Amino acid sequence: MKRNMSNTSSNHITIRDAKVEDAPLLAGAERLIAETPGLLASRPHELKDEAFRNKIEHLSKISNGKYIVSEFNGRVSGHALLDPMGLEAIKHVVRLTIAVHPGFQGQGIGEAMLTHLIQWAKTVPDIEKIELNVRTINPRAISLYEKLGFEVEGRIRNRMRFSNGTYADDLEMGLFVKAAKRFASVISDDTHLRLETTRLILEPTLESHAELMFPILQDDSLYFFIPQNPPTLDELKNRYKIWSRRMSPDGSEVWLNWVARHRSNGECVGQFQAGFDEKNGFSVAYTIAKPHQRQGYASEGLEHIIQFLHAKMNVQSIKAWVDTRNEPSICLMKRLGFKQVDFIQDADEFKGTKSDEFVFELVQPSAPAFKKEYYAVIFSSQRNSAEAHEYERMANRMLELAKNQEGFLGVESSRGTDGSGITISYWKTEDSILRWKSHSEHLIAQKLGKSKWYQSFKTRICKVEREYEFRGKSDEG
């Protein structure tokens, strides 16, 4: 009887801090990796043992840098490091370098090392963001980074030049380890946060607003569904002072608050909130003063805040917690497009009474076939009156052909009664656009367009880096 020598229980990954004596092995592994063009920026002869020793020693002495080694069944299988940027203004950013050693790919080692570094970075107060560069020809690495939360922030054209004269692009990717920090540039700018609707001005909440809002917030009826008592003036001032910071000290929460004032006379109508935490994402809430209720102010303010979150902060999901007895707010959520996604029994207890809550969510729709970055071909034209039926037949044929082209994502088109029109087609890459332009049937259509059907036209090709959408309230409810 043969003995089975495989022992899966020993197949495990351990991670430890790198030691100076690891340097020759790590450098040697990278020299092997660098023999495959495109995997590393360095050439094999440029990877010196001494540079690895110096980097390990340097990062071991600072609090915001880390160099780790992975071992698989006791053998060194990879290494990774977070190296802080040197300048004062960008020292909150660390750069990632990661390498899985030859022969150890496909074992989860890269994910294990990266997860370890991300968790470590979250515990370091001075680190807010991890950045990296990755070749566009390395889809496996890109998929791993996206899986762990990294987002594409840019593309560097022809970053890598190979010995045969060809090139490859780099993607710049980033991960905010303090999740709320990704919104810092928007929430620190008052010009972004001051919002105006048809009837309201939404002013970012300051401590000075407490004097104006205090009389409104003394109305006991406002707290029937809110487990709080009316605040004292000092409590309200302190609350608004904290809210005016807009972010928790540890960078894990965002606090956006607005005092709503009527455009015509400056009277305070109520207050709105949009908050973020790492567990629940973004959520919204509101309080409307009793004399101004049932006049559409809550809907008007929330609609504008939702638009702001989508457009300025690229928020894809927004939640709201509503007491199950609060019928007006439940109806409002439904009119705004929120869907009930959860029910929480005994969510709050106040003055001896327990209450339940519905959890509503508004998910930002997006085209599932579109990547985070894609391309738009904008074709604007002025038709003449010639051969309208033949033109229509050719246009339909071109649409049928385009849909079957590699890289085609979608199309939108409109034409007015005066013959002016615009067609926007969406594509994964510039190469897919060029292939479509040179398609044999499309070339014929282009020639006919110039000779028969168009008085004029213009084509623009754009890279789309962000998209968002707003859908107004429905007529239901």
Rounded-to-integer distance, Cα 129 and Cα 146, Å: 15
Reported as a pLDDT band with limits 50, 70 and 90, residue 314 is: confident
Rounded-to-integer distance, Cα 175 and Cα 115, Å: 12
Domain ranges across the chain = 9-177, 182-363, 374-464
Rounded-to-integer distance, Cα 175 and Cα 129, Å: 6
Rounded-to-integer distance, Cα 152 and Cα 372, Å: 8
Rounded-to-integer distance, Cα 119 and Cα 356, Å: 35
What is the structure's pLDDT at 1?
Answer: 30
Cβ neighbours of residue 151 closer than 8 Å, sequence gap 6 or more: 173, 174, 175, 372
Task: Please indicate whether the domains covering 182-363 and 374-464 agree at the CATH topology level.
Answer: no
Percent of the chain with pLDDT over 90: 64
Reported as a pLDDT band with limits 50, 70 and 90, residue 321 is: very high
Cβ pair 280, 443 in contact under 8 A:
no
Rounded-to-integer distance, Cα 329 and Cα 325, Å: 9
pLDDT in tens, 396-406: 888 888 888 88
pLDDT score of 8 more than 50: no
Fold of the CATH domain 374-464: Alpha-Beta Plaits (3.30.70)
What is the structure's pLDDT at 127?
Answer: 95
Rounded-to-integer distance, Cα 410 and Cα 424, Å: 8
Rounded-to-integer distance, Cα 62 and Cα 252, Å: 24
Rounded-to-integer distance, Cα 443 and Cα 72, Å: 57
Parallel, antiparallel, or unpaired for β 167-176 and 195-196? unpaired
CB hemisphere CA count around 317 (13 angstroms): 11
Alpha-carbon 60 to chain mean position: 33
- Amino acid, single-letter form, for residue 251: G
The CATH architecture to which 182-363 belongs is: 3-Layer(aba) Sandwich (3.40)
Higher-scoring residue by pLDDT: 247, 476: 247
Among 3.40.630.30, 3.40.720.10, 2.20.130.10, 3.10.28.10, name the CATH number for the domain at 9-177. Answer: 3.40.630.30
CB hemisphere CA count around 67 (13 angstroms): 19
pLDDT in tens, 357-397: 999 999 975 443 444 678 999 999 999 887 787 888 888 88
Cβ pair 253, 279 in contact under 8 A:
no
